[in-house]
Amino acid sequence: MGLVSACSQESVVEPVKEKPAMQEKNGIDIWPRLNVEVKQTDEIESRIQEIMATMTLEQKVAQMIQPEIRDITVEDMRQYGFGSYLNGGGSFPQGNKQSTPEDWIKLAEDLYQASIDDSLDGSTIPTMWGTDAVHGHNNVIGATLFPHNIGLGAANNPELIEKIANATATEVMVTGIDWVFAPTVATVRDDRWGRTYESYSEDPEIVRDYAAAIVKGLQGRAGQDFLSDNRVISTVKHFVGDGGTVGGDDQGDNVASEQALFEIHAQGYVGGLEAGAQSVMASFNSWHGEKIHGHKYLLNDVLKEKMGFDGFIVGDWNGHGQVKGCTNGDCAQAANAGLDIFMVPTSAWKPLYENLVRQVNEGIIPMSRIDDAVTRILRVKLRAGLFEKPSPANRKFSGKTELIGQKAHRDIAKQAVRESLVMLKNNEALLPLNPNTHILVAGDGANNIGKQSGGWTITWQGTNNTNEEFPGGTSIYDGVKAQVSAANGSVELNENGDFFKKPDVAIVVFGEEPYAEGHGDREHLDYQRGQKSDLALLKKLQKQDIPVVALFISGRPMWVNQELNNSDAFVALWLPGSEGSAVADVLFTDADGKRQYDFTGRLSFSWPNSPYDAVLNKGDEDYSPLFPYGYGLSYDSKDTLGNDLSETYEELEAFSTGKKIFTGTMQKPWVLLLSEGDKEELVVASTASLGTLSYRTIDKEVQEDAIRMTLADATVPSGLKIASKSFFREDISNELLNKSSLSFMIKPESAITEAVMLNMSCESEGDAPGSCRGSVDITENLKAMEKDKWHALSVDLQCFSQQGVDFSGLVVPFHLLSTGNIQLSVSDIEFSFDTADSASIKCK
Ligand code: BGC
Ligand code: BGC
């Protein structure tokens, strides 16, 4: 018997695509004119005109180009005079993760000086540096890392949020940086999205109030210290609808009505822009199939004209390249739609710049559009005082390294951690704990600051960070140890839950591994499906009659019914950041048995009742969550949850077959490449070729649902290669139950004269790509098949794992290779559960 409610079933039914009527003329007034606190002044507006009058077209276009520090030199800045630049997540000066604040300042100073140097053709307009300080100054070692937004939403304390933003601004300014790409104001409606934790809430109200508070904390308040020398420019992102894509697909399609787009997804812009945010980042997603980066109605008509936003719109990471007809280096469409700054973090900045100049000269982009963009950029620069402020190395906080990770900031972060915790279970009032006892701390999250901090932590994905890379930070274990030692209790730390002395209580810290953006997209919300090792740990402890406190680290609510049943107390920690010790402040009484803090965090996301309750939001019809929006226990509340939550659910057909790879289209996160020897090329069209290899889509059941490779005298192994997007390691070990196989349909269309191999490769933590691989010879199977007919072929995954393929770091799940002359078509490629015993190729 499953617990799937009607509403959770709906979550996987993809809404019908229907173009909403645009409210262009005489429509209902969906988009109000905002009451923006920052007003235009004659002084600034006439300065803009004066500066513009001196600028060449090339200098104007350069203001619209935002390259990345890995792709430009100081000399490029001198020559072109880019209006701004960025460092992406996990991108550091000189590519050095250990860069010190001095290294950051030196780069900021060098690029700034080059930007105002008029010895070459560039302008003398000061450039500015944008960075993703999304939970503190998270690219810099030693910075205070605050809980990710999802935890802040649970704290629901706008005053505290403003303090966090202010502290972040200070730490950013120590490194000479002017501008941050925060806050994310997505209202997330499908928790399978990998950026759920960057959202404050599924409820637009919290998002709107927080957006205003964050923007004030970063930029200061209008009429007071607005963008003065202790503040940075803020960006509300990603406009608009990023949290509402179909299936929670990162960069996917939002099919909300225009009314819902405003009421649910745009409320953060109401709050953030009224508070004076000076920039908006365009979103990667589409609205009804049209990419926002090229959406004139939304960017220009709605945001600029109807809502009255007078700052600039910056693009997202080559997002313009995804607009129909565009490439990263060529996209007049985005400029014409109203994009003011192109974020172009690759070498494509150069062709993009050249193309934009040419397109203005050819009349494809009106000069008035360029002038509008530059007016907006200069307006923000003037408001921020960039022409008057000293150079980055000489600003108020520059180089004051004592401000980074200072105690006052860590104290704010600790308060935020305490207020963000949501207690979901407290059987027989197990919590608060008496510190004067013997405590076991277990679980792989117990002493792991990287894990508790999530994505966007030093590195982009938040992976590969050691505790030593968080100087001044604390793990959750550190906090337990401090509380217990102060009260003369004792503590043992053991990840696997083993101990020397039987503990009075075990605290088990576990949860999701860090991820960012699309790498965090999931198909369902089942925690550790197929590999419930944390559940086993909880059970092992309970079996020994040890009371268990489960502390769950996650970027979203998840289906953890079994883990709940097998713990006595259960707390959702979200992603607390660098101040893990604050968790213990709430868990323990003081030495005299007096409570120190209560649990005040309340769910800002509804908690699922099945793995498929991903689209589960307050106000839904048939709302039946396990824990509703706003839920959370205090010490005085009575917990009636019990230990018998349903541990089964109805398996939905869409998920029962396993992990799809190619089903007529490539499935996320996989992409198709052609490979010839060492060369490879991404396939973007329905026909392609590379050397002796040619490729095309063919029809099996429906149009273009199969792919064909043809080799003509290939001298090196060539064929079709399916790899994860950006060759990022995909962890599918949880999804792959024992006894899975890789299965596909294959049709030999020529004689099989040479060997045909099926390879897989992975990347273990720390290894070079491709260093772990497996290879299976399928030649004989193919020879036995009737030509020009479709046949099913499946390979037991053990054949690959025996050769060292590690499914927690899979990069290439399918690579079909041969030489000589051969033609083959394949389709329906997927991992399927419980099929190894019947696989065509078995490996015991
Ligand atoms: C993200 C943005 C981020 C930008 C720069 C993009 O991939 O979507 O949120 O600001 O990269 O790092
Ligand atoms: C960057 C991120 C960016 C991402 C987009 C990474 O290499 O560091 O900031 O968001 O690429 O794909």
* C-alpha pair distances (Å), 596 with each of 282, 426, 585, 599: 44, 17, 7, 10
Check pocket membership of 88 for ligand 2, CB cut-off 6 A: yes
Q: Is residue 9 part of a domain?
A: no
Which two tokens mark 423? 């207690």
Q: Is residue 495 part of a domain?
A: yes
Q: Is residue 25 part of a domain?
A: no
Ligand (nearest to CA of 284): 1
- Name which residue sits closest to atom 7 of ligand 1, judged by CA: 317
What pLDDT does 726 receive?
63
Q: Tell me, yes or no, whether 670 and 561 share the same domain.
A: no
Determine whether 517 is an active site residue.
yes
What proportion of the chain, given as a percentage, has pLDDT over 90? 82
- Name which residue sits closest to atom 2 of ligand 1, judged by CA: 316
What pLDDT does 10 receive?
33
Query: Looking at ligand 1, which atom is closest to the CA of residue 132?
Result: 10
Ligand (nearest to CA of 316): 1
Check pocket membership of 90 for ligand 2, CB cut-off 6 A: yes
**Per DSSP, what are the bridge partners of residue 182?**
none
In tens, the pLDDT along 169-228 reads: 999 999 999 999 999 999 999 999 999 999 999 999 999 999 999 999 999 999 999 999
pLDDT band at 704 (very low <50, low <70, confident <90, very high): confident
What pLDDT does 132 receive?
98
Please state the φ and ψ torsions of residue 788, each to the nearest 5 degrees: 60, 20
Selection from 714, 611, 620, 615 nearest residue 245 by Cα: 615
Q: Tell me, yes or no, whether 756 and 680 share the same domain.
A: yes
- Name which residue sits closest to atom 5 of ligand 1, judged by CA: 88
Check pocket membership of 460 for ligand 2, CB cut-off 6 A: yes
Q: Amino acid identity of 75?
A: E
Q: Is residue 388 part of a domain?
A: yes
Check pocket membership of 91 for ligand 2, CB cut-off 6 A: yes
In tens, the pLDDT along 647-661 reads: 998 766 544 444 788
Alpha-carbon distance of 198 to 184, in angstroms, equals: 6
Ligand (nearest to CA of 460): 2
* Cα-based angle 62, 64, 67 (whole degrees, multiple of 5): 75
Which two tokens mark 31? 């988009």
pLDDT over threshold 50, residue 363: yes
Q: Where are the beta strands (DSSP E) in 136-278?
A: 179-180, 233-239, 253-254
Ligand (nearest to CA of 251): 1
Q: For the domain that residue 293 is a member of, what is the CATH number? A: 3.20.20.300
Alpha carbon of 537 to ligand 1 centroid (Å) = 37
Query: Looking at ligand 2, which atom is closest to the CA of residue 91?
Result: 8
Which two tokens mark 29? 């007034």
Q: Is residue 526 part of a domain?
A: no
Which two tokens mark 613? 């309750």
Q: Is cis: bond before 240, omega within 30 of 0?
A: yes
Alpha-carbon distance of 65 to 745, in angstroms, equals: 47
Query: Looking at ligand 2, which atom is closest to the CA of residue 316?
Result: 10
Q: Tell me, yes or no, whether 362 and 437 share the same domain.
A: no
Tell me what the mean pLDDT of segment 60-66 comes to: 98
Check pocket membership of 181 for ligand 1, CB cut-off 6 A: yes
What proportion of the chain, given as a percentage, has pLDDT over 70? 93
SS3 content of the chain, % helix, strand, coil (to 5): 30, 20, 50
Check pocket membership of 317 for ligand 1, CB cut-off 6 A: yes
Q: For the domain that residue 725 is a member of, what is the CATH number? A: 2.60.120.430
Contacts of 563 (CB under 8 A, 6+ apart): 527, 534, 535, 538, 550, 552, 570
Q: Tell me, yes or no, whether 632 and 485 share the same domain.
A: yes
User: Which residue shows structure tokens 């025996």?
Assistant: 802
Q: Tell me, yes or no, whether 505 and 583 share the same domain.
A: yes
Q: Tell me, yes or no, whether 291 and 197 share the same domain.
A: yes
Query: Looking at ligand 2, which atom is closest to the CA of residue 517?
Result: 10
Residue 775 half-sphere exposure toward CB, CA atoms < 13 A: 10
Contacts of 594 (CB under 8 A, 6+ apart): none
User: Cβ distance 292 to 260 under 8 Å?
Assistant: no
Measure the CA dihedral 807/285/18/271, to 10°.
130
Element housing 697 (H / E): strand 693-698
pLDDT over threshold 90, residue 595: yes
> Between β-strands 279-282 and 233-239, what pairing exists: parallel, antiparallel or unpaired?
parallel
Contacts of 305 (CB under 8 A, 6+ apart): none
Tell which of 648, 682, 716 closes a domain.
648
Alpha carbon of 819 to ligand 2 centroid (Å) = 37
Selection from 113, 57, 125, 43 nearest residue 377 by Cα: 125
Q: Is residue 330 part of a domain?
A: yes
Check pocket membership of 89 for ligand 2, CB cut-off 6 A: yes
Tell me what the mean pLDDT of segment 120-147 comes to: 96
Tell which of 401, 432, 452 closes a domain.
401
What pLDDT does 5 receive?
35
* C-alpha pair distances (Å), 586 with each of 109, 420, 486, 707: 44, 11, 15, 57
Ligand (nearest to CA of 461): 2
- Name which residue sits closest to atom 6 of ligand 1, judged by CA: 317
pLDDT band at 739 (very low <50, low <70, confident <90, very high): confident
Alpha carbon of 466 to ligand 1 centroid (Å) = 24
Q: Which domain holds residue 640?
A: 413-518+531-648
Please state the φ and ψ torsions of residue 660, each to the nearest 5 degrees: -80, 145
Alpha carbon of 138 to ligand 2 centroid (Å) = 14
Q: Which one of 134, 135, 181, 251 would you pick to mutate in the ligand 1 pocket, going by the greatest count of ligand atoms within 8 A of its CB?
A: 181
SS3 label, residue 738: coil
Q: Tell me, yes or no, whether 215 and 264 share the same domain.
A: yes
**Maximum alpha-carbon separation in the chain:** 83
pLDDT band at 682 (very low <50, low <70, confident <90, very high): confident
Query: Looking at ligand 2, which atom is closest to the CA of residue 132?
Result: 9
pLDDT band at 742 (very low <50, low <70, confident <90, very high): very high
Query: Looking at ligand 2, which atom is closest to the CA of residue 516?
Result: 10
Tell me what the mean pLDDT of segment 567-581 comes to: 98
**Phi-psi label, residue 569: left if phi above 0, alpha if psi -120 to 50, beta otherwise:** beta
Q: Which one of 85, 318, 460, 463 would you pick to mutate in the ligand 2 pocket, going by the greatest count of ligand atoms within 8 A of its CB?
A: 460
Alpha carbon of 317 to ligand 1 centroid (Å) = 6
- From the number of C-beta atoms within 10 Å of its C-beta (0-12, 13-18, 19+), residue 705 rates as middle
Q: Tell me, yes or no, whether 211 and 302 share the same domain.
A: yes
Q: Taking all residues of the chain, what is their mean pLDDT, rounded to a whole number?
A: 92
**Catalytic one among 162, 191, 444, 517?**
517
What pLDDT does 736 receive?
59
Tell me what the mean pLDDT of segment 33-53 comes to: 97
Q: Tell me, yes or no, whether 355 and 422 share the same domain.
A: no
Alpha carbon of 697 to ligand 1 centroid (Å) = 33
Alpha carbon of 135 to ligand 2 centroid (Å) = 16
pLDDT over threshold 60, residue 152: yes
Alpha carbon of 316 to ligand 2 centroid (Å) = 10
User: Which residue shows structure tokens 């009636």?
Assistant: 640
SS3 label, residue 569: strand
Q: Tell me, yes or no, whether 97 and 219 share the same domain.
A: yes
Determine whether 190 is an active site residue.
no
Q: Tell me, yes or no, whether 593 and 637 share the same domain.
A: yes
Alpha-carbon distance of 156 to 740, in angstroms, equals: 44
Q: Is residue 773 part of a domain?
A: yes
Which two tokens mark 9? 């079933």
Alpha carbon of 88 to ligand 1 centroid (Å) = 7
Ligand (nearest to CA of 70): 2
SS3 label, residue 561: helix
Which two tokens mark 24? 């262009």
What pLDDT does 4 receive?
33
What pLDDT does 403 receive?
98
pLDDT band at 699 (very low <50, low <70, confident <90, very high): confident
Check pocket membership of 89 for ligand 1, CB cut-off 6 A: yes
Query: Looking at ligand 2, which atom is closest to the CA of residue 726?
Result: 12
Q: Is residue 42 part of a domain?
A: no
How many domains are there within the chain?
Answer: 3
Alpha-carbon distance of 476 to 478, in angstroms, equals: 5
Q: Amino acid identity of 334?
A: A
Alpha carbon of 328 to ligand 1 centroid (Å) = 15
Q: Which one of 317, 458, 519 would you pick to mutate in the ligand 2 pocket, going by the greatest count of ligand atoms within 8 A of its CB?
A: 317
Please state the φ and ψ torsions of residue 244, each to the nearest 5 degrees: -125, 30
Ligand (nearest to CA of 132): 1
- Name which residue sits closest to atom 12 of ligand 1, judged by CA: 88
Residue 169 half-sphere exposure toward CB, CA atoms < 13 A: 27
Tell me what the mean pLDDT of segment 587-609 comes to: 97
In tens, the pLDDT along 203-216 reads: 999 999 999 999 99
Q: Tell me, yes or no, whether 303 and 161 share the same domain.
A: yes
- Name which residue sits closest to atom 8 of ligand 1, judged by CA: 316
- Higher-confidence residue of 653 and 329: namely 329
Alpha-carbon distance of 116 to 667, in angstroms, equals: 47
Check pocket membership of 88 for ligand 1, CB cut-off 6 A: yes
**Catalytic one among 250, 253, 316, 806?**
316
Check pocket membership of 132 for ligand 1, CB cut-off 6 A: yes
Alpha carbon of 798 to ligand 1 centroid (Å) = 38
In tens, the pLDDT along 760-802 reads: 998 765 556 556 889 999 999 999 999 999 999 999 998 998 8
Concatenated DSSP letters for 772-821?
EEEEEE-HHHHHTSPTTS-EEEEEETHHHHTTT--TTSEEEEEEEEEEEE
Q: For the domain that residue 571 is a member of, what is the CATH number? A: 3.40.50.1700
pLDDT over threshold 60, residue 722: yes
Alpha carbon of 496 to ligand 2 centroid (Å) = 34
Tell me what the mean pLDDT of segment 698-709 comes to: 85
Tell which of 648, 667, 689 closes a domain.
648
